[in-house]
Copies of this chain bind each other. A is one copy, B any other.
Amino acid sequence: MLYGALDAGGTKFICAVGNENGQVLDQVVIPTSTPDETMPKVIEYFKAKIDPSLPDDEKIQALGISCFGPVDVREGSKTYGNILNTPKIAWRDFPMLKTLKEALGDIPMGFDLNVNCALLGEATWGSAKGLLDAVYLKIGMGVGMGAISGGKPVHGMLHPEAGHLIMSRVPGDDYKGHCPSHGACFEGMAGGLAIEERWGKPAKELGDRPEVWELEAKYIAQAITDILLTLSPQKIILGGGIMNQSQLLPLVRKYVLECVNDYIDTKELRNINSFIAPAALNGNQGVMGAIQLASIAAAE
């Protein structure tokens, strides 16, 4: 069975075809410019995959759309499938799902926030395989979080926005923070842009400065603690470019245990190396999650 997968990100759109095992069989990358420039190429790609002249087993049976946020994921809402108040002005209020439905017709479509989709990929084939309650925290230039609870992506009034969790300032740290809305929130203290502003260099050039990663780990650990106190996940998957610093993950685990301070006694926290773990799908979790979203839409 073939599925279409669109991973619509802030810098690039990945259009792909995959199968029920999450294997990506074909993909193209389109730069994210404006809807007028980007969307016709996306539509052209998927139109060719539903062309009536194709044999049935070479056609995609459904499309999964993983989209940068904020997005309206509330089925039944008038703006379901729209991008909302993004700082990317050209995409603000863009009806992503509606545009694709109008162009591609009747094939089943699934739609979710990119980090929720990435987690869906990890929960189907990766680091959280088989778990019903898990979190994917992506720490790159910005910070995003996807979550599943009881096996379903967390939606509600919007979707998680844990990049903006309130931080307790680490004693001695007087950096003002990088978030235009909140200053010293999680992303404002620990996102890649914050690291670069705070230390005067991009994160990838700071690998030999232990003090950078000590401080970074303390803020990530605070966020993870707040996340486990609210969502109670069975696993927290860490991804994004900042996590490429291999000294960071052990420090994060250490400071999470310090923050929890034995208050919660679970087998997950006793096995912290498995509880807080790297992503397993090598950067393909977004596309693979979109494949799984398509597979769910096809089954409904």
Contact = CB atoms under 8 A, between A and B. Distances in A.
Interface of A: 70, 84-85, 132-133, 145, 147, 149-150, 152, 154-162, 164-169, 181-182, 222, 225-234, 259, 261-269, 275
A154 B181 CA distance: 29
8 nearest CB pairs, A to B: A133-B156, A156-B232, A149-B149, A181-B263, A157-B268, A230-B230, A150-B152, A157-B266
B230 A156 contact: no
Contact of A167 (B149, B168, B259): B168
A181 B149 contact: no
Contacts of A157: 133, 228, 232-234, 266-269, 275
A182 B257 CA distance: 12
Contacts of A182: 259, 261, 263
Tallying the copies of this chain within the complex gives 2
A106 B263 CA distance: 35
Contacts of A222: 166
A261 B181 contact: yes
Given A154-B232, A168-B169, A230-B231, 18 more contacts: A132-B156, A133-B154, A133-B157, A147-B230, A149-B154, A150-B152, A150-B154, A157-B228, A157-B275, A159-B232, A161-B229, A161-B232, A161-B263, A166-B168, A166-B226, A182-B261, A226-B230, A227-B230
